[in-house]
A and B are shown apart, each in its own frame.
Chain A
Amino acid sequence: MLTLGSLERRELEARLAGPGLDLCTGPYVTRLRAPIASVADGLQLLYADYPVLADGQFADFHISLLPSAGLRRWYKPQVHFRHDGHVVFRPLPQAHAFPMFEWGMNWCVSSHANDHLIVHAAVLEKAGAAVILPAPPGSGKSTLCATLAHRGWRLLSDELALVRLSDGLLTPLPRPISLKNASIDLMRSYLATPEQGEPVLSRPVSDTSKGTVAHLKAPATAVARAGEAARPAWIIFPTWEAGSEARLTPLSSAAAFTGVAQNAFNYSLTAARGFTVLGELVDACGCYAFRYSRLDDALAVFDQLPRETP
């Protein structure tokens, strides 16, 4: 299958400026129009391993990131995100175009993938057992996710746990991991190895609504296995806390149920089926709160998670 990395830059730009680039991420195809150099840069850097389709096939999402017209082309240029031709977000400075693409991709899935219970959570898998990490912003979820994804766990998603309503399995959606502020340099050094050097990160973009952001390339093995659903085994609510020992604390089923529901985008929309799937998910998982400060310690805990079926 054709991958984005096999496209010449000229061909990539021609698709982005013309009929659109049909980019496959997990089970979804996104037709992207974005005649903006920084978007092409980010795609080449972080999406080289992803399949792209020939023109004219079915696409789930049709999005565009277009530069401003008129005077705005020169004065504080902006970028406009549209989905199916409709404006979805307020325009952002054009320097924010690539983060806006990433946020827009998240929005497409979280607003439309209603054959899943969609939870704001990272998901990783090892030896056939997946861990779901639901957490609000600022909890250290993405830092922990990036660490696990580069230390033996398969990345399913940094942002969206997709629990299939049909059978409760987790649909992978491996995409770049969003890092913010101090986490960017931390991950740049922590994930560096003598064999592979520094991890691949997009150029940091400052002064966004989330501060400075950069995206970390998803491991190629995770992208290659995007078609392999995973069975949930743990639900862990992580919190980074300065100076804290790495500590797992069992959660009651009721606390886990309400915690996941509160982090779900479409719990109400999925109604009785979502309720049933969420109950079965909690039954199938060991449920914990997790506090940590040191990534090495966190890794040790995750590599020894209790495997017994609750």
Chain B
Amino acid sequence: MTATSHHEFHPDAESLSAFSEQALQERERAAVLAHLAVCRRCRQVVALAREAADAGDATAAAPPRKTIAPNAWWKQWRLVWVPTAVVAAFAAASISVYIERADRHGPRIRIAEQNPTPSATPPPAPTPTEQAKIEPPATASPATPPSHTAKHAHSTAAEPPPAPAPPVVAAQMPSESEAPEPGAPAPRVTHRQEAMREAPPMSQAEEQQASPQETMGVHGSAYSQPAQGAWEAKQKQSEEHRQAEVDRSRMRSFKAKAATTGEHGTDQAAPPSQSQSVTVTAAPQPEMQPTPLAAPAPMLGFKHMSDVSGPSNPIQLPSGLASVSIASRGHFLLAIDKAGALFLSEDRGVTWERITTQWTGRAVEVHRQVAANGAMQTAPAAQDGTTGNSSADEGTASPPPVSFELSNDKNQTWVSTDGRIWMPE
């Protein structure tokens, strides 16, 4: 313990300072500590000196701290932005997901309201593979229209190059089996069920024949619904694009086929552009019109199978029933469905007009009237007067006019020259 002139009996400032800085040796430190234990004044001195040292240290280190005010508002709230940003991001993500789901489910709900199906609940939309399973398998006959399903798209190479598939949306759309997507899936499946329900029971062969047209009708009915929003419009546009591409490829395929075979006339080689466009633009029409493209090969062969009637006829009529008898004269077509209704088409089956019943019983057959010499009357091309033969015919003594004969189930016959007015024979 060192006495100073100012502080008798107290450690001097140096000893206290050294004690506070831990600079004393053990013995000196113990002596100072013993004094501090009993001297309040020295304890105060040491405590104040230590406090001043801490304040000095804080001030010495202050310059970098002064640049950041400890009580700056942005510093106090700085950490608050982190959870706020996280919450905002989560909310934005949730809203976007909700909007996206609402966009998905909204049209579907509207479709369900606008297109109530008689069936209890439409089954989930089948995937393209399932769709292929649902539709009847293509027959082995080459005359059978090429299948429109994915299954038959992979037909064997032995078959003739299949005509491009009609615009079967189901086979081209991505898988939508999880849930009925807006617009397409529900009507796509249910239309077939409706057709099956409305139609009388068909044989398996008839069903197989009718399936391509029904498939077309399915998609036609799907688009025959009223406008269903922007999403549906986009779908339509994309469908149009895809269909146009398919049709173009079909045209190329047909041209190549016609060039190789050389058996068909000009009508066969003509691209069915009208029917293609009708197929696309007919979507909003309330009534389904079967398109010849649904069965390209038979349609092109109408002239040759004008009197062909029966289960192989692939035409689907507005009634939704399969045709049982068909007669043709160029672009002029007459067809009888299974219910006995007669339909007339002047544009190769693109549009149909139902003829009022002017006969008794149920019409079962229609055919072109056979000439007296037993040969069928000339082709429609000859009727158009575009060939020399037609003019020669006109110049000769009034050849018998081309007429059609309609037979009922009682084997009675009616005749007509224009297909609209029928007179009993």
| A and B together in one complex | no
Residues of A bordering B, CB below 8 Å:
none
Residues of B bordering A, CB below 8 Å:
none
